[in-house]
Amino acid sequence: MSETRVFLLPDLGEGLTEAELVSWHVAVGDSIEVDQPIAEVETAKSAVEVPSPYAGIVAELHGKPGETLDVGKPLISVTPVSSGAGVATDDAAPAEPAQPAVVPAETELAEPKPANAEAEAYREEEKAGSGNVLIGYGTPGGHAAAKRTRLPKASVSVLEPAETQPADKAADDLTLLRTRVPGKLGAVISPLVRRMAREHGVDLGVLHGSGESGLIMRRDVEKAISAPVAEPAETKPAPVVEPAETKETQGRDARTGLAISSRTPVRGVRKAVAATMSRSRSEIPEATVWVDVDATGLMELRESMKAGGAAVPGLLAFIARFVTAGLKKYPELNTRIESAEDGSQEIVGFDGVNLGIAAQTDRGLVVPSVRSAEKLSARELDAEIRRLTDVAREGKATPTELGSGTFTLNNYGVFGVDGSAAIINHPEVAILGVGRIIDKPWVVNGELAVRKVTELTLTFDHRVCDGGTAAGFLRFVADAIENPTTLLADI
């Protein structure tokens, strides 16, 4: 029987460094095949099933459901068996990959020379998989090769401190071999950059990436390392003497004196949402404008369409259609601010609208986006919004679907509220909220009437525009809701 092989938890997309183990699909002693799902894990992006790159007998499961596992740490041990035992061998010809993973510049080392026999063994093991892709990660193998950018030796040597031991370096190189970072969304970082930051004590959570879409590059970490550190005036703070009764003991909170009923770790999607919202509040000087809107005309239009027997898009799809038209007239709200290394800033505009739709899920708030939404009719928008909402709630939305928006539409009216000063979805510059539609007294042609009224709330980044632009966009959408036929010739 062959030597047991250990499969390390791979990077499941966008440079995430950890994942929570939700459940195992196999048990010790089970026979498994290449690409068979072995576990479900939840990352800050979504829940995914992890396939095995090996065939054989499960020898050990490294973790229990509910545990948080680090990328590059052991996930499962598999003992290959001979072909006569009825299980596919590791020497079987690899299948063609579904698609090669595309690796951006500065996110991965070129195929390095193995530092020791273990790395060489991994190189051979890597050829045994099928190459099937799963959210940027696939079991390696097949004949197609991903494009890689080779880094010069000088650029790599800066990551190796003189005091690093050969054995430590070999283990680190092997971990890097098994980690893949396929995308550039948000603050994505390569294994090299993560290791460099870890060795120099740099907190990546507070860095502003200078690369495309906020990508944290090696130069960003080097700049943080070279930045002067302010020394506190008092190197030895006076000791704080606390009475014994203020300490937290036996599950009682020291500040309130109340018994602690629960502790919930902040991780997964909730951790990602917290980081994004905190960054938005700290970086964006936001302002909010709002207006009450008579939606009676839109409601009557939908009722007339239903009477005709036609399939009728949802209200959110109609509003999404008005939003994309409004962003064409007021493109300042469909931008992003980028900062250069010298401290200068640019407002980056886009030829198109990727419309984010805020969706509440069991795992937290996520924002999948309708790509090129300005090209879609109300019916097409309705179909795509429903599809994205479904995959988001199932935890199956891809990193691209979750991280490529340029403007967000948030329908919090489904929760029975009228308005909210929403937090902008960083790095976007604006978010439009829609409240519930309810009967209200309204003046029509000088007469008091009962109308269907909703509240629109626009929160915007004051760096990209002033109140006049924001108010103009908001009024445009409001007028379209009140007189919908003017913009819905392409329903």
Catalytic residues: 462
Name 460's Cβ contacts closer than 8 Å, sequence gap at least 6. Answer: 286, 287, 288, 289, 333, 424, 429, 430, 470
- In three-state secondary structure terms, 357 is strand
CB 359 within 8 Å of CB 365: yes
- Look-up of token digits 């530092």: 115
**Residue with token string 């740490």:** 73
| Residue 206 dihedral angles phi and psi, to the nearest 5° | -105, 0
C-alpha to C-alpha distances, 272 to 44, 45, 276, 400, nearest whole angstrom:
5, 8, 6, 15
Q: Contact at 8 Å (CB) between 184 and 136?
A: no
C-beta neighbour count of 384 within 10 angstroms? 20
Q: Report the sign of the C-alpha dihedral through residues 209, 337, 433, 387, in that order.
A: negative
Sign of CA dihedral 461, 462, 463, 469: positive
Q: How open is the CA angle 202-203-204, to the nearest 5 degrees?
A: 105
Q: Facing residues of 455 across strands?
A: 292
Q: Are strands 56-61 and 31-32 parallel, antiparallel or unpaired?
A: antiparallel
